[in-house]
Structure 1
Amino acid sequence: MSLVGTVKSETTKQFSTSTWWILAIVLVVYVGSTAAALGFFFAASSTGALPGNAPQLPADSLPPQLYSLATAIGYVFPLLIGTLMVTTEIRHQTLTPTFLATPQRSRVLGAKLIVGAGLGVLYGVVGIAASVGPSAAMLALQGVATQLGDSDTWAMVGRMVVAFVLWVFIGIAVGALVRNQIVAIVGVLVFTQFIEPIARTLVTFIEGAADVVRFLPGAASDALVGASIFDAEALMGGGGSALEWWAGGLVLLAIAAVLMVLAYLFSWRRDVA
């Protein structure tokens, strides 16, 4: 089967199940509700409307931090969809007829990357709409500039889409490398929701740890985007300590490439059943 035919087959596989739209709905609910809640409280804080001695956040730093929620907390969704693109086929052994129709396994993997890029763009648009819409509304309601007319904001939005695509690539590589669906999903969730967040939280207490932690995938993704709710220094109006956006993108791309090569060399060419 040609590459075009393989891509068409892969597209049919991904959109013939309910997995992609269920994850998209959860992404919208999760990111949208978080953006609305944080948008309200951050905007209130910047205008001094919160009671007590709540810190007053600089208004100029709020829009990028809130808009970037799609990637800062939502990157696990493209990572999961990428992982499921491979492990679901291995689990249900639908990859066997695929390899029979297309013996060139590199072509099958290439097709998954092409379709995965499309899914990354789709999830990126959905996630960005879920973060920008509610948070911009909350900012506008309380008289804080949304910065939606600034070119820097839309440049950040473009980088967010790129980050989503790279996360799908990493997910495909993880799925191809690990193969076992339960192990892969649990591993993804444990790393993204516990290991890296804890490491990034403890970095302030360990001298020199910041130079290592900023090369972790989540930190590199935030650097690529150029903003993150987890960067407290930037939220308070400081410069932050992340990599440059282009360096963050290269680190994330390198992680995807290394995992993909390892998956192809040590797992993808093995027998499916």
Structure 2
Amino acid sequence: MRRAVRLEVAKFFSTRMWWVLLVLMAGYMAFLAGGMGFAFTATPQDAGIDASDPLATARAVYAVGTTLGYVFPAIIGTLAVTGDLRHRTIVPTLLADPSRTRLLVAKHLGALPVGLAYGLVGSLAAVGAGAALIALGGGDPMLDSPDVWRTVALSTVALTLWTLVGVGVGSVLSNQVAALVALLAFTQFVEPIARMGLTAGLGDAGGRVAAFLPGAAGDALAEGSIYSLMSPGSLLTWWQGALVLLGYAAVLTVAGRLTTFRRDLG
């Protein structure tokens, strides 16, 4: 297993895609956190949020990665599987070790350090730009608060777990283009609309259902998000969020093992 994991880690770093996405993620998180930080403090009434609690505001800004940027680690996790299938590099891997279950486990374990790198870079980029623009907007960045750094740490964990969800998606949808389109459509359009629609249309009951969607689970793990700033008390606890994300990764991977990885991959 150790050899298989080392091989999967090496595959991540064998192409430029990992650092291209990492740079894009850092820039995107800095842009979003900076814009939100300034808007939430300089003109909170225009942003439609209650900025009376500077801690909640800061946590929502610094956790923007788990709210809007989690697609990046999810993509790199998906590519870990679909890239293997697309380029047929999975064939020599299975010839060396024919256990497909062990291969999927190795892909998850190999994705963890890469996901951690994405989590750290995304979270720190959000803190750097967000704190600067919160201060520029006349607010308190709250960088001396342990609760803020707890959110940053938990946001890093959430983004790391999203890499595992991506591996699960790739194991179910073997076609790389289809997997990436489905992932982007769900994370950027379907879930945000579903979360707002369920809460608006069904009230508290809809909010309880929306809390178990994967993006909401990531927000819960980070203990802060734009959604919770607009609708306090709408998220699960941090540990429940972690379990839900891990559950999505596990269910998708098992489904992939029983479908894609049951077929002839040669």
| Alpha-carbon contact 1:45-1:56 (below 8 Å) kept | no
| Alpha-carbon contact 1:31-1:70 (below 8 Å) kept | yes
1:57 and 1:32 map into 2 onto residues whose CA distance is 20
Instruction: Name the counterpart of 2:51.
Output: 57
Alignment of 1:79 with 2:74, yes or no, is yes
Instruction: Name the counterpart of 1:4.
Output: 2
**Equivalent runs, 1:102-117 vs 2, <5 Å:** 102-117=97-112
Instruction: Name the counterpart of 2:159.
Output: 164
- Partner residue of 2:18 out of 20, 24, 33: 20
> How many residues matched?
263
2:87 and 2:264 map into 1 onto residues whose CA distance is 14
**Equivalent runs, 1:1-273 vs 2, <5 Å:** 3-45=1-43, 57-58=51-52, 59-207=54-202, 208-234=205-231, 239-273=232-266
- 1:219 Cα offset (Å): 0.8
Aligned-residue Cα RMSD (Å) equals: 2.0
| Alpha-carbon contact 1:39-1:136 (below 8 Å) kept | yes
Secondary structure of the residue aligned to 1:243 is coil
2:234 and 2:34 map into 1 onto residues whose CA distance is 27
TM-score normalized by the length of structure 2: 0.92
Larger Rg: 1 or 2? 1
- 1:139 Cα offset (Å): 1.9
TM-score normalized by the length of structure 1: 0.90
- 1:8 Cα offset (Å): 2.0
1:94-129 Cα distance to aligned partner (Å, 9 max, x none): 100111112222222222111101111000001011
- 1:80 Cα offset (Å): 0.5
The one-letter code of the counterpart of 1:34 is L
- 1:61 Cα offset (Å): 2.3
| Alpha-carbon contact 1:70-1:128 (below 8 Å) kept | yes
Residues 1:245 and 1:25: Cα distance change in structure 2 (over 3 Å): same
- 1:25 Cα offset (Å): 1.1
1:102 and 1:190 map into 2 onto residues whose CA distance is 35
The one-letter code of the counterpart of 2:241 is G
Structure 1 portions without partners, runs of 5+: none
The one-letter code of the counterpart of 2:223 is G
2:190 and 2:138 map into 1 onto residues whose CA distance is 38
Structure 2 portions without partners, runs of 5+: none
2:241 and 2:124 map into 1 onto residues whose CA distance is 23
Q: Equivalent pairs: percent with the same residue?
A: 42
| Alpha-carbon contact 2:198-2:210 (below 8 Å) kept | yes
2:48 and 2:196 map into 1 onto residues whose CA distance is 22
The one-letter code of the counterpart of 2:189 is F
The one-letter code of the counterpart of 2:3 is G
- 1:56 Cα offset (Å): 6.5
1:20-67 Cα distance to aligned partner (Å, 9 max, x none): 011111101111111111212222136x9x8xx987622332110100
- 1:142 Cα offset (Å): 4.1
1:133-164 Cα distance to aligned partner (Å, 9 max, x none): 00111123344222222221222222112211
Secondary structure of the residue aligned to 1:206 is helix
The one-letter code of the counterpart of 2:252 is L
Between structures 1 and 2, the one with greater helix share = 2
Higher mean displacement: 151-160 or 186-195: 151-160
List structure 1 segments (4+ residues) > 4 angstroms apart after TM superposition. 53-56
Residues 1:152 and 1:18: Cα distance change in structure 2 (over 3 Å): same
